[in-house]
Amino acid sequence: MNKNVNPVLAVIIIALFGSLLWLKFHFYGKALDVPKVSFLKEAPDKTVFFRLGSKLYQYQSNGILKRTIDLQKLGINGDSGDFDFFSNGDLLINSNEYHGKLKENLAAYARFENTTTAPAKEGKGLLRCKLSLTLAQQHCQVFNKTIPELQGPHYIHIDRKTDEVYLADTTRHEVRKLSPSGELLAEITTGLQFPNQVYLEHSNTSNNKGKKLWIVDTNHHVMKAVKAETENFGDLIEKHKTILDGEWIWPSAFSKLTNGWAVQIADNAMQNAKIVLYSNQWQQGSPLNLPVKADPVSSIFTNDTLIIADANNYTLYQFDQYGRRLSNFAENESKPGIYAALQANKALDKQYQQWSNWVLYFGLGVFALIFIYALKQSVKDQAKQEEEAIQNSQQIEKDKIIRLAKLPMEGEWIEAKPYFKITKWIILGTDLVLVALLIYLIVKMDNKVSLELILMLLILPAIITISIIPISKISQYQIGFFKNNVTIKTDKGKLISAPYNQIKWGSRFFSIGDWFIPIGNPKQSIFPYEKLQKMLMPYVSPENKLGEIDAFKLQWKSPEGILKYALISIGLGLLLIIILKRHQLMGN
């Protein structure tokens, strides 16, 4: 417990665990990057499109694959945004894969409002693309050059009767209406907080007046219907609370059924959503019976069937409009399509997750081995010292009288070993290196930075700093030996003295009043070990030797706070482990 830390060894151990943490989050980031089905849309010809990373899979309503479109060949990257189709079959999609700066990434993760107003780069942004059957005939052109660059989540809905576009810019809390040629017609700039999916519901009147634009107003926990006409765009018509039990209070997407709605409601982490059925009058029904650990991210109702994309399980579920489970979409397809791609991605995700967990378990195992070794070495060293003390006791008694007589009136002072005095710079340097490494990881992951990584950025440097602060403080002490007493000069210049016969001591420490000074062993002592043994230990009283419990109590009260800092470090370490394994601990 009282064994001091060799700073060189400490740096090596910190580098080892830093490397293991880097590997863990490297594999964790690779798992996040595995493509998952993000959006589903029905085209004008009633075929269904699924977006999986950089590919669009087009299926007939009966589950037969029609074709696969490689979006990268059209200059379209990223998979964070929605898409939809014009009445003639043209695709509207965002071409940017946004790479934000660290500040912007952190702001996006913390769900701060996006206040940037810069338009998309030349040739980028919203594109209208012709999806001809041959690649040579496929081409895209910029749809709008004036609205701000879409950074992160956004949702698109196109009115097939008029080809007018409705766009939810989620992080800016805005919804826009665009003409078929891309001109901004109207926008909602107030009253929304993180609007997500939008959907236009037509009335049955012949002049098509009274259209309702449904908006998922996520952070207000409601579904809103507003007027869709340009002249009074955004005027509220009705709203309905969509909150489930417990932490499921964040609606994010929905599908219009024949006789109601299927609303996707996420938990506090905006994950692990449940699908809840509502009637046309917004009477809440029961959640759909989804598999364990399901995380639905998108759904579509087509051909009297609700198709749900589960990002966590890499599965496309099917339900009828009454909530009865059907067979999974395309799981029996005759040629490789989206089902095969999802299974391959699921295996890859699992592999990266396993590697990430193995690195964590390996790190915990190494920590346990180091702790056991240190404990055994401590017991061994203590026994050796006690044996040496018995062998040298007679000679020490003879030297005692001689040495005290020779001490000068001004005493003899000793200081900490030189490399312990630079401990505070080791703290600063290690923290800077670790923070730089974690910042690099965050930037590398773009907007997919995880909660675990953000907290790691805050907690790990704190653990390192708190662990070494007491050693840094003690290394600034000076110890003076006089004929009648021993004096400690603290890092603040305070002098604390006590006669030899009042000094409390143990095999690895001594104490003057409340001040606890660790001695350690010859290799890891903060102060010159041999000199301490020679100048102090022969003259302390045997009856003042403390057992481990009394030493623990004394160390707890000591102003340098070794035990208190150690307990804080252990607590932060346990918190870090809980954060890393929180989903397993929560059974989710």
Taking only the tens place, the pLDDT of each residue in 563-582 is 788 888 888 878 877 776 65
| Distance of alpha carbon 532 from alpha carbon 537, whole angstroms | 7
- What pLDDT is recorded for position 138? 84
Q: How close are the terminal C-alpha atoms of the chain, in Å?
A: 38
- pLDDT band for position 442 (50/70/90)? low
Please give the Cα distance from 7 to 422 (Å, whole number): 9
> What are the residues whose beta carbons fall under 8 Å from the beta carbon of 202, sequence distance 6 or more?
161, 208, 211
d(CA 237, CA 510): 77
Residue range 21-59, pLDDT digits in tens: 888 888 888 888 899 998 999 999 999 999 998 899 999
Q: Which one has a higher pLDDT value, 102 or 391?
A: 391
**The predicted structure's pLDDT at residue 422:** 75
Predicted pLDDT of residue 299: 94
Listed in sequence order, the residues at least 6 apart from 103 whose beta carbon sits closer than 8 Å to its beta carbon are none
Q: Can you tell me the distance from the alpha carbon of 81 to that of 99, in angstroms, rounded to the nearest whole number?
A: 14
Helices (H), 445-561: 451-474, 529-535, 548-557
Segment 414-437 mean pLDDT: 75
Say whether pLDDT at 490 is over 60: yes
CA 557, CA 574: separation in Å to the nearest integer? Answer: 24
Lowest mean pLDDT among 28-32, 101-105, 261-265, 337-341: 101-105
The mean pLDDT value for 128-133 works out to 87
How far is Cα 563 from Cα 2, in angstroms, rounded to an integer? 9
Mean pLDDT of all residues in 526-541: 84
Q: Can you give the pLDDT at residue 333?
A: 86
Q: Lowest-pLDDT range, 330-334, 352-356, 420-424?
A: 420-424
- Given a cut of 80, whether residue 86 has pLDDT beyond it is yes
Whether the pTM exceeds 0.95: the reply is: no
Residue 306 has pLDDT above 90, yes or no: yes
Written as six digits, the tokens of 11 are 């740096």
pLDDT of residue 500: 87
What number is the average pLDDT over the span 336-351?
94
Query: What's the mean per-residue pLDDT of the chain?
Result: 83
- pLDDT score at 341: 94
pLDDT at residue 40, as a whole number: 94
Place of tokens 């980031």: 29
User: What confidence score (pLDDT) does residue 95 get?
Assistant: 85
d(CA 587, CA 540): 57
Residue with the bigger pLDDT between 453 and 376: it is: 376
Mean pLDDT (whole number) for 413-420 = 83
Torsion of the alpha carbons at 207, 208, 209 and 213, rounded to the nearest 10: -170
Q: How far apart are CA 464 and CA 442, in angstroms?
A: 20
pLDDT band at residue 585 using 50, 70 and 90 as cut-offs = very low
pLDDT digits (tens, 9 = 90+) for 248-268: 999 999 999 999 999 999 988
| Arithmetic mean of pLDDT, 397-422 | 71
Average pLDDT value for residue range 484-509? 87
CB 126 within 8 A of CB 93: yes
Q: What is the pLDDT of residue 298?
A: 93
Tell me, what's the pLDDT at 406? 60
Tell which wins on pLDDT, 111 or 330: 330
Q: Is the pLDDT of residue 99 over 60?
A: no
Rounded to an integer, what distance in angstroms lies between the CA atom of residue 576 and that of residue 331?
40
Position 363 scores a pLDDT of 87
Among 489, 494, 484, 499, smallest CA distance to 541 is for 499
Of the pLDDT bands very low, low, confident and very high (cuts 50, 70, 90), residue 121 is confident
Structure tokens belonging to residue 578: 């809980």
Whole-number pLDDT of residue 533 = 83
Question: 158 or 469, which is more confident?
Answer: 158
**Confidence class of residue 206 from pLDDT cuts 50, 70 and 90?**
very low
CA distances from 171 to 21, 106, 188, 231, 400 (A): 31, 13, 13, 25, 76
Residue labelled with tokens 């603040």: 492
CB 491 within 8 A of CB 469: no
pLDDT at 204: 61
Identify the pLDDT of residue 166: 97
